[in-house]
Amino acid sequence: MTCDVTAMTGEAPTAKSDSAGSPDWGDARAAWDLDPGRAHLNHGSFGAVPRVVRSAQTRWRDLSDANPMNYYREVRIPAVQHARGRAAAFLGAAPDSLGLVGNATAGVSTVLASFPLQSDDEVVLTDHSYGAVTLAAHRWARSAGARVVTAPVGLLASDEEVTSAVVGAFTSRTRLLIIDHITSQTARLFPVAAVAAAARERGVATLVDGAHVPGMLPVQVDALGADFWVGNFHKWAFAPRGIAGLWIAQPWRDRIRPLVASWSEEQEFPAAFDQQGTADDSAWLAVPDALDFYAAWKPQRLRDHNNALAAYGQQVVGAALGIAPEAGGGAAELSMRIIPLPAGVAADQEGAHALSARIAQDLRIEVAVTCWRDRGFVRVSAQAYNAAEEYERLATGLARILG
């Protein structure tokens, strides 16, 4: 089975550029230093930093090493403030509403560490929650004598069913809801604005884990109605690893403090987050270059291409395994899709890791294998450097491995 990229995206696959001068899909791989001997179909886990962005990060490191005293005294803070402003604008957020943290997991722990949980309070999350976020919720709840309540949400649940399942888990002791914007294990797009509105009506604060959102979805974070939102820039927005935006609604900004008390401790949010000791913040400072690289692709064009390619990957791999595309669900707005595996395959974390490693070794393909409710899934991602043939190769090879 072959893929008609022109039909999917409206772009001719061999054209050198479009009418506005955007880069061409056929030339995209050259912008990355990815191992040419492998297919990289797991952009969703760790991203892949373009060469030009890596060069920008290196320039910041070189600048700091050329004169460390001047860099930390004069250069770094204004540069962080500029990067933070660009990040906020990218997310449709006011400049004073977004702080920078190392990653989405760190942002979740930052909120939990300052959130006023008391004995017998409850934190609600869903059974799609990212593993590290679930662990963080249990740690901070336990330290306060509170408890974590898990709301089960069906794999193919509608938006209304998602909202109903979450609200149905609330009690009079529920204080905080943690919900994914885009789920990691199951590649679901959750109706976070509707859920946040329902939670607000019941006096429950909402923390949205938007780890996959920056660059994959156009978003106006200020308009979502959540209390907290955090998203990584190192995945779909092309930044180096180690940078996420933590958005906090106005009523909470004087209550949420950085995990590390450092020299900016006495400042208000978000400036209090700008200086966390003698850290290598070159990933933060390269964000403007990453966003410029992203803009060069024309964002809607890039998202449309990636979304269609991920859907094709789901289709062709599913067909090879005898799985109908609708069995994995998925939203047209997402650049990640899942394909259910046969019962008993990768049914736990150990099995998922083993299958992923075997695919990497035998097929020279890097792809995520996840498990949820004792069912294994292959999760395919799509980025500009991917090609339809790579998903076809995965389909053929995976069918052989599982046959």
- Looking up residue 133, the CATH number of its domain turns out to be 3.40.640.10
| 25 lies in the same domain as 70 | no
Q: How far apart are CA 210 and CA 214, in angstroms?
A: 8
Question: 18 pLDDT exceeds 90?
Answer: no
Supply the Cα-derived Rg of the chain in whole angstroms: 21
The reply to whether 46 falls in a domain is no
Domain boundary among 292, 312, 329: 292
Task: Return the beta strands (E) in 45-107 as ranges.
Answer: 98-101
What the block records as the tokens of 390 is: 């790579």
The reply to whether 201 falls in a domain is yes
Residue 125 is part of which domain span? 55-292
Amino acid 13: pLDDT:
29
The reply to whether 390 falls in a domain is yes
The reply to whether 47 falls in a domain is no
| 9 lies in the same domain as 84 | no
| 262 lies in the same domain as 375 | no
Q: How far apart are CA 392 and CA 372, in angstroms?
A: 25
Amino acid 324: pLDDT:
86
Mean pLDDT of the chain: 93
| 91 lies in the same domain as 112 | yes
Amino acid 233: pLDDT:
98
Domain boundary among 292, 325, 360: 292
Tally of domains in the chain: 2
| 330 lies in the same domain as 238 | no
Burial 64-81 (b: 16+ CB within 10 A, else e): beeeeeebeeeebeebbe
Of the pLDDT bands very low, low, confident and very high (cuts 50, 70, 90), residue 1 is: very low
Closest by CA to 45, choosing from 370, 283, 290, is 370
| 306 lies in the same domain as 257 | no
Q: How far apart are CA 324 and CA 333, in angstroms?
A: 19
Q: How far apart are CA 340 and CA 73, in angstroms?
A: 53
Q: Tell me the average pLDDT across 181-198.
A: 98
Amino acid 22: pLDDT:
64
- Per the DSSP assignment, residues forming a β-bridge with 230 are 209, 246
Amino acid 263: pLDDT:
85
Q: Which of 16-25, 26-35, 199-208, 342-351 has the lowest mean pLDDT?
A: 16-25
Amino acid 6: pLDDT:
34
Question: 236 pLDDT exceeds 90?
Answer: yes
| 287 lies in the same domain as 301 | no
Report pLDDT digits (tens) over 200-211. 999 999 999 999
| 156 lies in the same domain as 187 | yes
| 133 lies in the same domain as 213 | yes
Q: How far apart are CA 52 and CA 29, in angstroms?
A: 13
Q: How far apart are CA 377 and CA 330, in angstroms?
A: 13
What the block records as the tokens of 86 is: 């660009």
Question: 161 pLDDT exceeds 60?
Answer: yes
The reply to whether 37 falls in a domain is no
The reply to whether 42 falls in a domain is no
* Percent above pLDDT 90 for the chain: 89
Question: 315 pLDDT exceeds 50?
Answer: yes
Amino acid 60: pLDDT:
98
Q: Which of 3-12, 181-190, 344-353 has the lowest mean pLDDT?
A: 3-12
Amino acid 11: pLDDT:
34
Question: 15 pLDDT exceeds 90?
Answer: no
Amino acid 27: pLDDT:
86
Report pLDDT digits (tens) over 269-297. 999 999 877 889 999 999 999 999 999 99
Residue 399: phi and psi, rounded to 5, are -60, -40
Amino acid 21: pLDDT:
52
| 321 lies in the same domain as 188 | no
Report pLDDT digits (tens) over 84-142. 999 999 999 999 999 999 999 999 999 999 999 999 999 999 999 999 999 999 999 99
Residue 179: phi and psi, rounded to 5, are -140, 140
Domain boundary among 274, 292, 310: 292
Q: How far apart are CA 210 and CA 381, in angstroms?
A: 16
Q: Which parts of 91-130 fold into alpha helices (H)?
A: 104-114
The reply to whether 36 falls in a domain is no
Amino acid 275: pLDDT:
87
